[in-house]
Amino acid sequence: MAELRTQLGEDDDEDEPEYVQFKVILLGDGAVGKTSLATRFCEDHFAKQYKQTIGLDFFVKRVVLPGDVHVCLQIWDIGGQSIGGKMLSNYIYGSAAVVLCYDITNYQSFQHLEDWLFLVKRTFDQTPMPYTALMGNKVDLAHIRAVKVEKHSQEEGLFLQGLHSFRRALRCRMAWAASLSTVYIVICYGRDALGSSTFHHVAL
Amino acid sequence: MEPVEAVCAIPAPPEGARIFRADANRTFRSEPNRLVCIKLLSFSQQKFGDYQQSLGYVAGLLLLFFDPATCFKVLTVLNDSPKYLPGYWRGEATACAVDGYVCEGLLKPHMRAKLKELGLLPETFVQKWFAGLCIHHLPYGLLFDFLDQFFQHGNSFLFQFFLAFFDTFEAEIMSAANNPEANMLIRFESAPEPRLRQALQDATAERYVATIKSLDVHQCRISAFQEALSRRLQSANEGMWREVWLHQFSLRSAEVQSSQQLFLPWDVLGANHSNIANVITATLIGERGIFAENWIWRFESCCKAGINTSGANAGLEAQRQVNSIAQGDAMERPLQLGLSVKWGCNGQNQHLEIGLVLAAQFRALALGAATPAATGEVQVLTASNFSTSVREGMEQPWFVEFYSPHCGHCKRLASVWEQLAKQLEGKVAVAKVDATYEESLADEWDVTGYPTLVLVAGGKRYDFRGGRSLEALKSFALGGYLQSQEPSTESSPAFGGEHVLSLSGDMEEVVRSSAKAMFIVFYLRGCGHCRSMESTWGSLALELKDQVQVASLDAQQFRPLTELWRVERFPTMKLVAGNRVYDFEGDREVEDLKAFALKGFSALPGEPLPPRLSDLPSSTAQPGGAPRSNSIHLAVGFGLGMVCAAAAWAMCTCLRPASPASSKPAAEKEVKGD
C-alpha cells in the first residue's frame, strides 16, 4: 500500500496527509444533472437554480477511505454540449474514472451514452479503459421515468451505480462512496480485483 | 450498435430542440418566457447554423430588456460582426479556443508555465469569459460595466480583460495548489469583488489597449491555431478516420474492383466556417454508409475572396481556389478525393455560409488514376449514367449535345463536336445524348429541337444559342456561358409547381396590386435547403389556393430585389399583407406555414413594404450596389447593439430591478444561478 501511495500520491508537507489524486470525469448529455452531481458531492448542496455548463468546470473533493487512505478527487464536469467535440479527448485523457450520466426521464440521454462511451474508448484506444460508472439521475422524478431499471442493469456490467437523484443527499453520498471505493480498488489492485465483473458492452 | 453508427450520431445529435428546452428551463421560470426563449434560441440556430450554450446566456440576459425580435437582431450582430464575437458561437468552440490561446501567448512566461502546470487550458475558461460574456460569472454590479465596455470596444476588450485579470490576480494564480482551486478564481467565485472591479477598470488602461492594438490578431490566431489546436484536431480526425475506414473499406473494395470509376454521392453533413482561423471543417457522409472525415483547411485566400467581392464572382473565385487547395491536399491522402465547393453567400458578407463539397469523386488508390471526365473524346451519356457522370456540373462543366441521328444539323455538328472535345480536354467534359432514344432525359431537359446544346456547370444549366462554330462553342464552354446569359430558368419548372406564382422583375407591382395576401419564398437554385422545401411549398400553394397567393422569386436572378427585401439567407419566406411585410421564422412544414399565412402573421408587428427599386438612388438599385446596402444593414445592426448596451446599462444603474414596470414579464427570471 505504501508503495502504491508513493507511486500515485504527491510528496507533500509532513503534516499534510498524503493524498492520492484521481481525476474523475463526468460525461453525458446536457441537462442530465452532471453539475448537480458534482456540487452535491463536493459542496454538499443542491442548487435549485441551476445553470448550463459552458466548456468545463472543475471541482475538488477530499475524502478519507477506510484504511486511512486520503483521496483527492478532481472532478471534471464537462459541458454536455461538447459531444462530437474534437477537443474532448484532451479532457478525457488521463482520467481514472469516467462517470456516464443520464436522466432517467429522458431516454435519449440514455441512448447517447453509447456515443459518449465511444469517445472515451477512442481516447484510450490502446491503453486500458478507465473505470466506468453509469449513473441514472433524477429518480425523484420516477413517475415520469423513461428508462427502465432493467435497461440500466442490463447495461451495467462493470457499471456500478444504480439510480440516483442528487436532490437526495444521502443517496448521492452513498453512490459516490461506492463508486469511489471501486475506483480506488481498480486503480490500486487492478481490474482483476473486481473478479469477473469487467466491463462488457451490451448492445442496445 | 456499431461504432460506425455511433460516429454517425456524433456530428449531429438530434437533440437541438431538447437542448433549447433544457437551457430555457434553466433560464426562465415561467412557461411563456421559456417558450419565447426556446424560439429565440432555435431562430439563432437556424440563422447561425449552430448553437453554443453560451449564446443561451446572452439571449437570456437580452430577453430581460428587449422583445425577442430586437434580441435576435442584437445576437445577429454579435455573431456576424468580426468586431464582437467572431465565430465564438459554434458547438465546437474552436474560434473561441484560438483566441484563448492568443491571449495566453501574451501572458508573462512564468504565468504561462503555471497555467500549464495547473492544467488550466485557456480553451475551457475563455468560453465562459468570451463566448458567454461572463454573464453567469460576474456579479451583476460588474457585469454591466463589463458589457458596456464590450459593446463599446468589442472583441479587443475581451482580450484586454483577459490580460488585466491575470495581472490583477497574479499572486493567487501563482500560489494555487491545484486546478480546481485556480478554477474557482477563474469562475470569479473566490475573487473578491473590489479586485474584480479593479481588473475591469484596468482592462481599458492604456497599456493593455496598446498591447492589443499592436497585435497582428490575424497572424496570432493562425499561429495559435497551429501550435495549440491543429495537431489535436487533426489527430482526433485521424482517429475517426481510421475507425470508419476499417469498417467501410472491405465493403467498398468489391465495388471498386468492379468499376473503373466510382462516383459516390456525398452529402455535406455539416460544414462550419469559422472566419477567424480561416478553417473549414467538413464532415462527409456517403450515401451507402458513413464515411466521415473531418477536414481542416487553411482557407485564408478563399475567405478573403469571398469577403471582398460579392455574389457569383466570389463564389467562382472561391471555388477555383478551393479546388486547387483541395487537390493539393488530396494527393497526400490514402485516397483521392476531388472536391467541388459551392458558395452560397448569404448577402451578409461576414457570415459566409459555405456549402462545401457537393460532389466528390472517389477512387481507391489501388486502381491508379481513373479516367477523368474531360477526356478529349465525346462521351456518350444515357439515362443510366447521365446524373452520375454530369453530377450537375459540380466537378467540371459538362457540355452536352442532345441530338437526333436523323437530323442534318446534328450530323454537320458531329465533327465540330469531336474537335471541341479534343480542345477542351482536361477542362470541360463534352458529351452527347441520343435524344430520340433517351426520351426521358430529353423530356427532363426540355429538348424540343435538335441539336440542343446545354452546358451544365455549378448546378446550373446554360443553353447555347449562338452560331455553332468551333470558336463560338469553345469560348462559350470556357467561361463565355457565364456572361452570355442568365442561367436559363426553363431547365426546371416554377419553384414548387404549377400552383406557385413565379415572380420576376415586376414583383413590386404584382405585390402592390394583389388583392390577396401574398406569401413569397426567396430561393436559390442549387441551395439544398430550398430544394428540400420545394415540395412543401407546392403543397402549401395548393392548400391556400383561394386564400393566399403563394409565390416564389429566384433570388439569384433578381438579386437587387432580393437585397432590397433584405433577404439574407435561403430560403426566406415573407408574407405581404395590407402593405406590410411579415417574416416567417418557424419550421418549414406545411402546417406551420399555413397557420402563419392565415393568421399567425398578425401577431407580429411586420415591416412596411420596401420602396420600389426605381425609387431608390441609382447606386443601390444596381446589382453592384450590394455591398453598400449590406454595410448600411450592418451599421443599423451595430447601432442596435449600442442601443442595447446603453439600455442595459441604464436599466442596471438607474432603475432597481423590480421597478421597470414596462419591461417584459421577465422580472422573475434568473439568468444567473445564484
Convert the pLDDT of each residue in B493-545 to its tens digit: 567 777 788 887 778 888 888 888 889 998 877 677 777 788 888 888 888 88
Residue B590 scores a pLDDT above 90: no
What letter represents residue B667's amino acid?
Answer: A
- Of B7, B183, B674, nearest to A47 by CB-CB distance is B674
Chain mean pLDDT for chain B: 68
H/E stretch holding B551: strand B548-554
- Of A30, A85, A118, nearest to B22 by CB-CB distance is A30
- Of A47, A74, A122, nearest to B179 by CB-CB distance is A74
Q: Do B53 and A30 lie within an 8 Å CB cutoff?
A: yes
Residue B636 scores a pLDDT above 50: no
Whether chain A has a CB inside 8 Å of the CB on B50: the answer is no
- Nearest chain B residue to A78, by CA: B124
Whether chain A has a CB inside 8 Å of the CB on B15: the answer is yes
Count of helices and strands (H, E) across chain A:
7, 6
C-alpha cell recorded at residue B159: 482580450
Contacts of B184 (CB under 8 A, 6+ apart): B190
Q: Do A112 and B15 lie within an 8 Å CB cutoff?
A: yes
According to the model, what pLDDT value does residue B632 have? 40
- Nearest chain A residue to B234, by CA: A86
Specify the range with the lowest mean pLDDT, choosing from B50-59, B227-236, B627-636.
B627-636
- Nearest chain B residue to A33, by CA: B22
C-alpha cell recorded at residue B539: 403543397
Contacts of B94 in chain A (CB under 8 A): 87
According to the model, what pLDDT value does residue B178 have? 81
C-alpha cell recorded at residue B509: 407591382
Residue B466 scores a pLDDT above 70: yes
Nearest C-alpha neighbor of B270 from the set B49, B87, B67:
B49
pTM for this model (two decimals): 0.49
- Nearest chain B residue to A31, by CA: B22
- Of B14, B131, B183, nearest to A54 by CB-CB distance is B131
Contacts of B125 in chain A (CB under 8 A): 55-56
Report the pLDDT averaged over residues B555-575.
Answer: 81
The three-state (H, E, C) secondary structure of A152-204, written as one string: HHHHHCCCCCCEECCCCHHHHHHHHHHHHHHHHHHHHHCHHHHCCCCCCCCCC
Whether chain A has a CB inside 8 Å of the CB on B81: the answer is no
Whether chain A has a CB inside 8 Å of the CB on B122: the answer is no
According to the model, what pLDDT value does residue A156 have? 54
How close B231 gets to chain A, by Cα (Å)?
A: 11
Whether chain A has a CB inside 8 Å of the CB on B269: the answer is no
- Of A49, A55, A108, nearest to B128 by CB-CB distance is A55
Three-state secondary-structure class, residue B275: coil
Contacts of B215 (CB under 8 A, 6+ apart): B102, B106, B159
Most confident region among A25-29, A31-35, A192-196 by mean pLDDT: A25-29
Rg (CA), chain A: 16
Report the pLDDT averaged over residues B89-104.
Answer: 83
B504 φ, ψ (degrees, to nearest 5): -145, -150
> Cα separation of B574 and B597, whole Å?
9
Whether chain A has a CB inside 8 Å of the CB on B238: the answer is no
Contacts of A74 in chain B (CB under 8 A): 178-180
Report the pLDDT averaged over residues B238-246.
Answer: 34
Residue B176 scores a pLDDT above 70: yes
- Nearest chain A residue to B185, by CA: A58
Residue B346 scores a pLDDT above 80: no
DSSP, residue by residue, B411-455: HHHHHHHHHHHHHTTTT-EEEEEETTT-HHHHHHTT--SSSEEEE
Convert the pLDDT of each residue in A120-163 to its tens digit: 887 777 777 777 777 777 767 777 777 777 676 666 544 444 44
> Cα separation of B28 and B669, whole Å?
5
Three-state secondary-structure class, residue B330: helix
Report the pLDDT averaged over residues B24-49.
Answer: 87
pLDDT band, residue B189 (cuts 50/70/90) = confident
Which is more confident, B546 or B666? B546
Cis peptide bond N-terminal to B32, omega within 30: no
Burial class (CB in 10 A: 0-12, 13-18, 19+), A75: buried
Work out the percent of chain B whose per-residue pLDDT is above 70.
Answer: 64
Which is more confident, B21 or B339? B21
pLDDT band, residue B633 (cuts 50/70/90) = very low
Which is more confident, B136 or B622? B136
Which regions of A41-176 does DSSP assign to beta strands (E)?
Answer: 56-65, 69-78, 97-103, 131-137, 163-164
Give the rounded distance of the alpha carbon of B578 from its chain centre. Answer: 33
Catalytically annotated residues of B: 407, 410, 527, 530
According to the model, what pLDDT value does residue B162 have? 95
Please state, as a whole number, how many other Cβ atoms lie within 10 Å of the Cβ of residue B179: 21
Contacts of B9 in chain A (CB under 8 A): 112, 114-115
According to the model, what pLDDT value does residue B388 have? 67
Q: Do B180 and A84 lie within an 8 Å CB cutoff?
A: no
- Nearest chain B residue to A52, by CA: B23
Q: Do A52 and B56 lie within an 8 Å CB cutoff?
A: yes
Residue B360 scores a pLDDT above 70: no
According to the model, what pLDDT value does residue A194 have? 43
Nearest C-alpha neighbor of B37 from the set B61, B8, B14:
B61
Structural domains of chain A in order of their starting residue, each with its CATH number: 20-200 (3.40.50.300)
- Of A58, A60, A90, nearest to B232 by CB-CB distance is A90
Residue in the block written with cell 489546436: B229
Which is more confident, B330 or A108? A108
B window 287-346, beta carbon within 8 A of A: 294
Residue A101 scores a pLDDT above 50: yes
Pick from B92, B118, B136, B293 the residue to mutate for testing the A interface (most A CBs within 10 Å). Answer: B92
Convert the pLDDT of each residue in B102-120 to its tens digit: 999 999 999 999 998 888 8
Residue B32 scores a pLDDT above 80: yes
How close A117 gets to chain B, by Cα (Å)?
A: 9
According to the model, what pLDDT value does residue B323 have? 42
Q: Do B125 and A83 lie within an 8 Å CB cutoff?
A: no
Contacts of B7 in chain A (CB under 8 A): 118
> Cα separation of B535 and B502, whole Å?
15
Q: Count interface pairs A-B at CB distance under 8 A.
A: 134
Convert the pLDDT of each residue in B193-217 to its tens digit: 999 999 999 999 999 999 999 988 8
According to the model, what pLDDT value does residue B631 have? 39
